[in-house]
Amino acid sequence: MSQQLGGQPILILREGTTRNRGQEAQNNNFAAAKAVASAVRSTLGPKGMDKMLIDSMGDITITNDGVTILKEMDIEHPAAKMMVEIAKTQDAEVGDGTTSAVVIAGELLKNAEGLLAQSVHPTIIAEGYRLAAEKALVMLDGFAITVTPSNFVMLKKIAETALTGKNVEVAKDRLCGIIVKAITLVMDPDGRVDITHINVEKKVGGSVDDTDLVEGMVIDKERAHPNMPKVVKDAKILLLNAALEFKKTDVNAKINISTPGQAQAFLDEEEHMVRVMVDKVVKSGATVIFCQKGIDDVAQHYLAKAGILAIRRVKKSDVENLARATGGNIVNSIDGITKKDLGTAGLVEERKVSGEEMIYISKCKNPKAVSIIVRGGTEHVVDELERAIHDALMVVSVVVEGKKVVAGGGAPETELSLQLRRYASQEGGRVQLAIEAFAAALEVIPRTLAENAGLDAIDILVGIRAAHEAGKKTFGLDVDAGKPADMLKAGIVEPLQVKTQAISSAAEAAVMILRIDDVIASSKSAAPEGGMPPGGMGGMPPGMGDY
């Protein structure tokens, strides 16, 4: 970028900087954002297809989860990256509806392009989109249905809708039961649900039907010593955040040993100190120990002799969940152990799952943390099943906390589209055009559902619209019958929050991309002057400098 002044060019930006302005900048951004939306569009809905993603290492991911697809794609364009951010936000907030959010944002930009061609100013379109999004959230709340957290039938339907279209439909009923039970077990008295208290462990082997819920915890570890018991009934569980090993001094001390006897005495004293620590643990009455830190060989020997099952180097998050599951307290000092700190479980056992040992802590009285063991024939099946279960857990927890649902199958989008068109005519002026464009964009959801099911999108859209104009607010697309139907009766329901989050984040991203009229890209930084020393950087083996 340079300005000519009296024949002398003045450089303002560094050489090599590129700049796109006005219509060209907008067209580039719109094209990139729409390309991202079209990449995931075919995965939407129960009849959506899957994508196979191969990364630079050759690892394969097979999924139809919008956010997973976008995270795995190596996206370079800044406007396209903004679309990925929508999906990430949607996933973090509500766990589902990532594809819908991106598809709506893409359609909003496509409709904005049409308005720009009619010389409507971007600021007016942005204003109209903002008004429409605000109004849409109020309207959605108006026709949402209230659900109580004890309504297990409705919660199961919510989980079922989230799982539909994934590769796990064969075991859908069983999985929905597991998901709803897990959520209700870990729910706090105030109705809040933190799904980090549901530990999902993946194990390749068996089939999807073997996926199971353990009312307690499952830890991917084995016993610290083979002489320890494999099964402990009515276990008293100690959760220890201290090492069961000889403490070496932090001070740089020197020990002078002049006779062979002194060396043996020193070693005996070390062993004695460990023995004292183990005795304190045994005295507490604990029969099972989960230790976050190490347990040395001497301690393992004495614990095995005392008939105590010990597991070492357990993750902090697992120990915290064990405390919730067993009712125990995490103890930070061996001297501070009391009987009150011990947790309880009806059964602690080491089991072999797919050739690997795992520790099962089950038959807990009131487990506030549970585990789901995910099984499947191949690694790709297990990974996709884990993603599907995460989505379903998120949406059920969102409903338990938010207590509101809407019908699925494109019903809320069609109803919003209808109501927003009426609202647009009241607003009048140029803003009316933008609100109508927003209303039309929402219909991309039922249209895409129809396309992905191999149906005639126009016929379906007209049919659903007619039903809504007749006051049937919960009518959407029944993809199996290939015609409009009452989604609420069919049990196709989604959390209100999934829809509100998708619409508000799609509108925000579309407005942000719409308002950009100048893209100034700095040149890639040049290599340091003088080049690299031969043989790569200092301290690197020869040849490494090439990477």
- How far apart are alpha carbons 216 and 367 in whole angstroms? 6
Query: Out of 91, 287, 391, 448, which one is annotated catalytic?
Result: 391
99 is catalytic: yes
| Interval 260-268 mean pLDDT | 70
Higher-confidence residue of 155 and 546: namely: 155
What percentage of the chain's residues is helix, strand, coil (to nearest 5)? 50, 20, 30
Query: Out of 99, 161, 287, 448, which one is annotated catalytic?
Result: 99
Q: What is the band of 543 on the pLDDT scale with cuts at 50, 70, 90?
A: very low
What does the pLDDT read at residue 173?
83
Cα 81 → chain centroid: 18
pTM of the model: 0.81
- How far apart are alpha carbons 244 and 279 in whole angstroms? 11
> Contact at 8 Å (CB) between 375 and 382?
yes
Domain 148-215+367-402: assigned CATH number: 3.30.260.10
User: Is the model's pLDDT at 445 over the cut of 70?
Assistant: yes
User: Percentage of the chain with pLDDT > 90?
Assistant: 25
| Interval 50-79 mean pLDDT | 87
Q: How do residues 317-371 score in pLDDT, each as one tens digit?
A: 889 999 988 988 998 888 888 888 888 999 999 988 888 888 999 888 888 889 9
DSSP 205: B
Query: Out of 98, 164, 414, 500, which one is annotated catalytic?
Result: 98
Q: What is the band of 268 on the pLDDT scale with cuts at 50, 70, 90?
A: low
Query: Out of 43, 61, 63, 65, which one is annotated catalytic?
Result: 65
- How far apart are alpha carbons 333 and 243 in whole angstroms? 9
What does the pLDDT read at residue 104?
95
CATH class of 217-365: alpha beta
65 is catalytic: yes
| Interval 67-91 mean pLDDT | 89
98 is catalytic: yes
What does the pLDDT read at residue 267?
67
> Contact at 8 Å (CB) between 494 and 96?
yes
What does the pLDDT read at residue 169?
67
What does the pLDDT read at residue 447?
93
Length in residues, the chain: 547
Please report which helix (H) or strand (E) contains residue 21, including its range.
strand 18-21
What does the pLDDT read at residue 448?
93
Instruction: Provide long-range contacts, Cβ within 8 A and 24+ apart, for 67-75.
Output: 67/91, 67/98, 68/387, 69/39, 69/40, 69/43, 70/36, 70/39, 70/40, 70/98, 70/102, 73/39, 75/36
Same fold, 21-145+407-521 and 217-365: no
Fold (topology level) of 21-145+407-521: GROEL; domain 1 (1.10.560)
- How far apart are alpha carbons 473 and 126 in whole angstroms? 28
164 is catalytic: no
| Tokens 């002398």 found at | 8
Domain borders along the chain are 21-145+407-521, 148-215+367-402, 217-365
User: Is the model's pLDDT at 403 over the cut of 90?
Assistant: no
Nearest to 513 by CA among 136, 125, 131, 137: 125
User: CA of 504: how far to CAs of 36, 126, 131, 497, 512, in Å?
Assistant: 18, 13, 11, 10, 12
What does the pLDDT read at residue 420?
93
